[in-house]
Amino acid sequence: MTVQCCSCQKVRSPQGWRKPIKAELITKQVTHTYCPSCYSEARLFIEKWKKDNA
């Protein structure tokens, strides 16, 4: 199972997050999540959204 960031499209590997190879996205099952850097960005976005919509 390939784990891919839904924001920057990087994939998780034992060596860390890297750019995906096209073939592995076609041949393997892919699940989407946030990589650590996009996760912190998304969290900031949610916090801002909460403030704006409070």
* Cβ-contact 42, 15 below 8 angstroms: no
End-to-end C-alpha distance for the chain, whole angstroms: 39
Chain-centre distance for alpha carbon 31 = 10
For Zn ion, the binding residue among 7, 20, 25, 41 (CB under 5 A) is: 7
11 binds Zn ion (CB under 5 A): no
For Zn ion, which is the closer residue by CB, 8 or 21? 8
44 binds Zn ion (CB under 5 A): no
Amino acid at 21: I
**Count of residues engaged in binding Zn ion, rule: CB under 5 A:** 5
Binding positions for Zn ion, rule: CB under 5 A: 5, 7-8, 35, 38
